Amino acid sequence: MRAKIIGTGSCLPEKTVTNNDLSALMDTSDEWIKSRTGISSRGLVSSETETTLSMAVSAGTSALANADLLPEDIDLIIVATVSSDFVTPSTACMVQSELGAVHAAAFDINAACSGFLFALNTVDAYFQAGIYRTALIIGVETLSKIIDWKDRSTCVLFGDGAGAAVLCADEEGIMANLQGSNGSGGHVLMCRNRTNNNPFVSTDPSMDYLYMDGQEVFKFAVKKEAECIQELLTQAGLAPTDINWYLLHQANQRIISSIARKLKLPLDKFPSNLDHCGNTSAASIPILLDEVHRAGTLAPGDLVLLSGFGAGLTWGAALLKW
């Protein structure tokens, strides 16, 4: 049995911050941000009650309703995030408690922007092994709390949000998938956790924020994501034109356009929400999936290719029949 998506949900923060709002706070402009990235605005959490957990629960609740399942029906919850509210318990365990998904095993995955795909592929492996039959996976980030708001080259890129999918074991669904990592490239995109703090070690009191070598990440993304898609298509015995929709990680519109060009495909096969979401890391693919699903874009039987890359470095892709 393979994993089939039977419901989707998402949650964006209440507050929308435009490029012009940012240009009032720092030396940037709507023209620079839009032309370099395709981003016009992004959602940012703006109250203490809006958290990684609250957005994950909201997206998960919406996906369960969309799938017409109850929390008690779920065997497994995986949350993909690098910005959980607590070091422990995991966000997945907290989601389980909030939803009342009393029969589910729950854990988090940290694969940055590829996290949702790693979660999807993990569920597929569990289903193929016959261990579980239903799952809820959520990609969620409040990257705004780990971004250096004095670093204009990163802070304008990211947004907060959550996206979720409910899966059940079925004869049709995921047709092919892959994932990979290159830890030796991790230094181009990183964020340090709390430093040592015990009586026997001197501590650096400064908090670390997200660091990114934008041009290196850009080169990695364009090369690796295109290779990943080609490899998946070869695995499935399909040509680029056979795929109805490419839902790629929403990091930069120029990366998406470059991949469309490499595959010799029109851009209208590549839906995008960068314009109003920015880069929401692990949440970007499931938010986009929920948007196109709810807009009625995906028809039964459509071939949908999901692909992403992120810190680690990591990459992943999945081909599914809708």
Which 204-233 positions form the footprint of ligand ACO (CB under 6 A)? 212, 214-215, 217-218, 221
Cβ nearer to ligand ACO, comparing 66 with 114: 114
DSSP 50: -
- How many residues are listed for the chain in this entry? 322
Query: Is 113 among the residues known to form the active site?
Result: yes
Gap between the Cα atoms of 55 and 141, Å rounded:
9
Q: Rule CB under 6 A: say whether 310 interacts with ligand ACO.
A: yes
Q: Which residue is nearest to ligand ACO (CB)?
A: 214
| Selection from 75, 65, 55 nearest residue 139 by Cα | 55
Which 28-87 positions form the footprint of ligand ACO (CB under 6 A)? 28, 32-33, 36-37
Q: How far is the CB of 212 from ligand ACO (least distance, A)?
A: 6
Q: Rule CB under 6 A: say whether 253 interacts with ligand ACO.
A: no
Query: Is 249 among the residues known to form the active site?
Result: yes
Query: Is 276 among the residues known to form the active site?
Result: no
Sheet bearing 174-181, strands edge to edge:
174-181, 314-321, 303-310, 245-248
Which 94-113 positions form the footprint of ligand ACO (CB under 6 A)? 112-113
**What 3-state class would DSSP assign to 293?**
helix
- Could you say which of 133, 152, 276, 294 contacts ligand ACO (CB under 6 A)? 152
Q: Rule CB under 6 A: say whether 181 interacts with ligand ACO.
A: no
Q: Rule CB under 6 A: say whether 269 interacts with ligand ACO.
A: no
Count the alpha carbons within 13 Å of 98 in the hemisphere toward its beta carbon. Answer: 18
Q: Which bin fits 281, alpha (ψ -120 to 50), beta or left (φ > 0)?
A: left
Gap between the Cα atoms of 103 and 86, Å rounded:
23
Residues at the site binding ligand ACO, with contacts judged by CB under 6 A: 28, 32-33, 36-37, 112-113, 152-153, 156, 189, 212, 214-215, 217-218, 221, 251-252, 255, 279, 281, 310-311
